[in-house]
Amino acid sequence: MALKLGVYLNSQHPAGDDPGRRFAEMVEQVRLIRSLRFDSIWAGEHHITPGFHFFPQLPLLHRLAAEAEGLWIGTNVTLLPLHNPVELAEDGAFLDVITGGKFLLGVGLGYRPEEFQIFGVPLAERVSRFTEAVEIIRRLWSEDRVTHSGRHWQFSDATIAPRPLQTPRPPPIIIGAQVPAALARAAKIGDGLLVVPLPTLDQLDSQLSAFKSARSATKQPPAEHFCRLLEVGCAADDETAMRRTAPFLLEKYRSYASWGLEGLTLDPNAAPDQQFRALASKRFAVGAPATVIEMLVAQHRCGINHLSMRVSWPGMGQDEILASIELIGRKVLPEVRQRTAAAGP
């Protein structure tokens, strides 16, 4: 089956940017994505991000669904422990209705103490809240009169309406994970795996193998959804792509490092060019169309079947964003689809 190719929308912007203008630009991006026949759009979630403003994930996706007819819409990721699962089940079901049964719920634990503090959720409870919420959402999406008595939520005879359109099963719950314990948990309770941008190709292969082994050990059927957020910078040639992409990606990853994201290190003594090349090597798809094509096909070879490509980052201008989407849509998508379809599942 051909690799599905979607675009992760950058909804994080420098604090001084006009949010109305940035939202209008995002609508223009989604219209172009749809016209070029990408498969999906995705958005992320963070709160109280110093120096940036972050469009709220679910309201944003509900609005953009009107511009994205025919596309899958996914969350990458929803910070599940911060949410009431009943409300999230209702919001997700409605997204599935308005997309015609094309909603993908990607969820993660979260890692920033500031977010847990402001939501009044103990960081120490994030795993127990996460696993309990997955159970609640799945049951509310597929059962009538749900009664639940758990550690964090208790209710009787609950039914949500409308329910999701997807049949015979409700929308997949795809779980973000990268360390062994999280991969085992995702294999046990999820419908698939959502991989972050940090792993190199070798690490990606190892993570997918660990997930599949853990899944097999639970006696569950093989998972159908292996998705990944991937940084993609495409221009006419490799050097131009590097030059246009590096400043924005480095700034983004410096923010991640300051937030305490696990597995990320940047050499403070290296020059910016060296920092970026070390970060991007065997990890990001940055270059001319041919370079990007090879990296996307390599993701499929490892077992990924749906990519969420982040093609813009905070502060990037609209002209460059649209040009990148256009180049990927016209020069990269057809070749990747042809090659991965021929390669089989």
Token representation of residue 179: 């360390």
Q: What is the pTM of this model?
A: 0.94
Say if residue 97 is preceded by a cis peptide, omega within 30 of 0.
Answer: no
pLDDT tens, position by position, 224-246: 999 999 999 999 999 999 999 98
Amino acid at 341: A
Largest CA distance in the chain: 60
Q: What is the DSSP string of 129-185?
A: HHHHHHHHHHHHHH-SSEEEE-SS-EEEEE--SSPP---SS---EEEE--SHHHHHH
Which SS3 state, helix, strand or coil, does residue 315 take? coil
Which SS3 state, helix, strand or coil, does residue 91 take? helix
pLDDT tens, position by position, 287-325: 999 999 999 999 999 999 999 999 999 999 999 999 999
> What is the chain's percent helix, strand, coil content, to nearest 5?
50, 20, 35
Q: How many angstroms separate the CA atoms of 29 and 162, rounded?
A: 30
% of the chain residues with pLDDT over 70: 95
Task: Assess whether pLDDT exceeds 70 at residue 141.
Answer: yes
pLDDT tens, position by position, 190-217: 999 999 998 999 999 999 999 999 999 9
